[in-house]
Amino acid sequence: MILEALNFAATWLVSGRRRADEINASVRLWARARRCARDWSAHEENCKAFVRDNMPERGRVAVVLGSGLLRDVSVEDLSRAFDEVWLYDLQHLASVRLWARARGIGNLRFLQQDLSAGLDMLRDDAEVDLVVSANLLSQLGVAAERAGLDVESVIAGHVAALRAAPGRRLLLTDRAFAVILKDGSTAERHDLMHGVSLPQSEAEWFWTVAPYGELDPGYKAVHRVVAIRL
Ligand SMILES: C[S@@+](CC[C@H](N)C(=O)[O-])C[C@H]1O[C@@H](n2cnc3c(N)ncnc32)[C@H](O)[C@@H]1O
């Protein structure tokens, strides 16, 4: 709790976007990622490998959308291969900025922006050689549903905007999840894409977002993730 409070306070001081609810959500994600590190590691490695295998060897600007905690895309790889790496998220925690600084990664730009409003900022940027949407899309859908918006158009809109972005475009997203009981039976299934069909994926895998005990001792939540070249 103390670490979380410190991270919140430090982020509040450095963020150009002082919104307590957003910073809180990022701190909660950070705490959960630490608790679930073992269960998330295969998913994170798969994401990193997909980007590594599909990014240009050299480039000017790489963009990561939903960069958050910098766990599922290797900023070290991107930082070496590109002149600049632009990281977009609602918030970037002070702990994440410190982590990058401690590693001497100097060509990162932390950009706080609500990406549900679209990707117009990228459309005509001729310097951008790679855009990665990094496990953001389902979150846009969840937020749209909570706000009573048309979820399908938000999801389809992000895919279309990504397709229209310059450079190579890579989409990583969880597209569905299942609630699995202790006896292995499936209690619930949910389509995180709300019926929007995605382009063909290059790879798919399972991600145990919440192992037994994280949300409830009696079940775990397992998400299906897809990796797509647009
Ligand atoms: C599942 S996390 C992705 C994790 C991240 N790629 C990483 O490696 O830590 C989803 C991320 O999307 C961000 N996010 C959610 N809604 C957003 C929005 N409307 N605009 C920008 N970022 C958003 C969250 O803040 C969070 O960091």
Q: Please work out whether the CB of residue 66 comes within 6 Å of at least one atom of ligand 1.
A: yes
Q: How far is the CA of 124 from the centre of ligand 1 (A)?
A: 23
Q: Please work out whether the CB of residue 209 comes within 6 Å of at least one atom of ligand 1.
A: no
Which of 11, 50, 72, 90 has the most ligand 1 atoms within 8 A of CB, as the residue to mutate?
A: 90
Query: Which pLDDT does position 178 carry in this prediction?
Result: 98
Answer yes or no: are the C-beta atoms of 150 and 156 closer than 8 Å.
Answer: no
Q: Please work out whether the CB of residue 154 comes within 6 Å of at least one atom of ligand 1.
A: no
Query: Which pLDDT does position 126 carry in this prediction?
Result: 80
From the CA of 22, give the closest atom in ligand 1: 25
CATH number for the domain formed by residue range(s) 2-165: 3.40.50
From the CA of 73, give the closest atom in ligand 1: 8
Torsion of CA 77, 79, 81, 84, to 10 degrees: 150
Query: Which pLDDT does position 1 carry in this prediction?
Result: 83
Q: What is the DSSP string of 41-106?
A: HHHHHHHHHHHHHHS-SSEEEEEEET-TTS-SS-HHHHHHHEEEEEEEES---HHHHHHHHHTT--
**Mean pLDDT for each 10-residue chunk of the chain (230 residues)?**
93 93 97 97 98 98 98 97 98 97 96 95 90 98 95 97 96 98 97 97 98 96 98
Whole-structure pTM value: 0.97
Query: Which pLDDT does position 74 carry in this prediction?
Result: 96
Q: Please work out whether the CB of residue 122 comes within 6 Å of at least one atom of ligand 1.
A: no
Q: Please work out whether the CB of residue 114 comes within 6 Å of at least one atom of ligand 1.
A: yes
Domain ranges of the chain: 2-165
Q: Please work out whether the CB of residue 134 comes within 6 Å of at least one atom of ligand 1.
A: yes
From the CA of 33, give the closest atom in ligand 1: 9
